[in-house]
Structure 1
Amino acid sequence: MNETASSRSRILERLHGIHSQSRFADHPEITETQSPSWTTEEKISRLKSRMEAVHSEIHRCSEQEFDTVFRKVVDEKSIGSLLYAKNTQLGSRIHSLKQSNQENMPELVNYDVSIETMKKRIFSFDASITETLGGIAETGSLILWPSRDEPRLMSLIPPIHLAVLQAETIYNTFSEAIDEGKWDEKGMPTNALLISGPSKTADIEQTLVYGVHGPKQLVVFIIQSN
């Protein structure tokens, strides 16, 4: 046996000796955790408080109150142009609201062109409005499910993102959202998104800045059924 092989053997013998004398720390048996089961009101309150903690703006309203609350937000934020998806249920409602309130509504721009064409204009819009797939109370997050009508750019580029969340689609946990939403059956989009607040980064001189990698403001309308 050459010197190298002999040295290797001695090292391995020492390691085996140390291992045989070692005792692993005792750990309690891992038990299955109980998932939370909050009421609708508790889920709304929990999601609202967590999202507001990271600078999201939350508005609770009924179906009947939404139009008034929406117009108030548009006015307060001086939104002059709004990107929307006319073919969605939300888009149809916004379009009808525009038809009946021409003077108190922003210019509506329907996202009905190719990405290449929209890229030339999308940076000029004041805001966008999209639907959401649901929310997660445990983490205070929105679930966005980009589609042909509402592609990812809609919630990524405009400086103000208005998101509409139906209260009954707020889940307790992320795993519950996946299971009850049957994500495995409906087919995943290229990117499903969990969003808790506006874009923020501290890359520049370690100073917190909003709106560098996405919207500067996130406004959520939580609509509760009567």
Structure 2
Amino acid sequence: MNTSGSRERILGKLLAAAPAPGMSLRELEDRIDAHHARGPLRGASSTELADTLARVMASVRTDVLRADAHSWPALLAQKLAAAGAATLLLDTASAEGAALAAALPPGVRPMSFDRPLEAWKDQLFAGVDAGFTVARSGIADTGTLVLAPDAGTPRTVSLVPPLHVALVYASTLHADLHAAMHAEAWSAGMPTNLVLVSGPSKTSDIQQTLAYGAHGPRALWVLIVDDDAVGDAA
């Protein structure tokens, strides 16, 4: 195998794609924008983006649900009960958290992150079955959720419980990372903590034995709320 020739071809492609000497930052940004504008999902409807997100996330062992803006609390509550989840960590001060808490059957108890971590760390790590978050947005082509943790839903909610349940609205989906960064103006000021989730926690040892849950939740459910379906049809 001629590794030298392969190396030269790769380096040649990198040099050809490199910005020309003296190119301004604005010109470089325009060049990057033009490249991503040709992406296969650019111009796709929210329903098409949701379909892609669902397909990609399902391929990495994510349980994907679809519902409209009215039926999702009952659907999710039913699924949690069927899975045997006895405790659910969520922010009842948010509209989504309050709606889900109200729909939960008696066998599923809602819990709020209303104390310092040190005050209930043992209970959190051993006695909470699932955590519920609402994604800020989603990235269709990579099957990624964008979470912006806050005081009511800190990062712990999506990392510690063995089951992470995330809701994302179809209207907030972006075609790719570049589109998300521009649409949400990340360069103008990112949150203190931004979490990108592309499936349940997984790791592999030197023998390539894949294990789930070593560094986070063993399971991920993503509920896509098709809130733009009517607009797409119109």
* TM category, shorter: 0.7 to 0.9
Rg: which structure is higher?
Answer: 1
Q: Is the aligned partner of 1:159 residue 2:162?
A: yes
In structure 1, the partner of 2:137 is 134
Q: Is the aligned partner of 1:70 residue 2:73?
A: no
2:44 to 18, 23, 38: 38
User: Does 155-164 or 114-123 show the bigger shift?
Assistant: 114-123
Q: CA deviation at 1:81?
A: 0.7
Q: CA deviation at 1:96?
A: 2.5
* Aligned amino acid, residue 124 of structure 2: I
Q: Equivalent pairs: percent with the same residue? A: 28
Q: CA deviation at 1:183?
A: 2.7
Distance in 2, matches of 1:56 and 1:62, equals 19
* Aligned amino acid, residue 205 of structure 2: D
In structure 2, the partner of 1:6 is none
Q: CA deviation at 1:72?
A: 2.4
**Structure 2, unaligned stretches of length 5 or more?**
1-10, 19-30
1:219 to 188, 212, 221: 221
1:120 partner SS: helix
Output the TM-score relative to the length of structure 1. 0.80
Count of aligned residue pairs for this structure pair:
198
Distance in 2, matches of 1:207 and 1:28, equals 39
Output the TM-score relative to the length of structure 2. 0.77
In structure 2, the partner of 1:195 is 197
User: Does 109-118 or 203-212 show the bigger shift?
Assistant: 203-212
In structure 1, the partner of 2:90 is 84
Q: Is the aligned partner of 1:181 residue 2:184?
A: yes
1:121 partner SS: helix
Q: 8 Å contact 2:49–2:140 — kept in the other structure?
A: yes
Q: CA deviation at 1:37?
A: 2.4
Q: 8 Å contact 2:47–2:226 — kept in the other structure?
A: no
Q: 8 Å contact 2:74–2:100 — kept in the other structure?
A: no
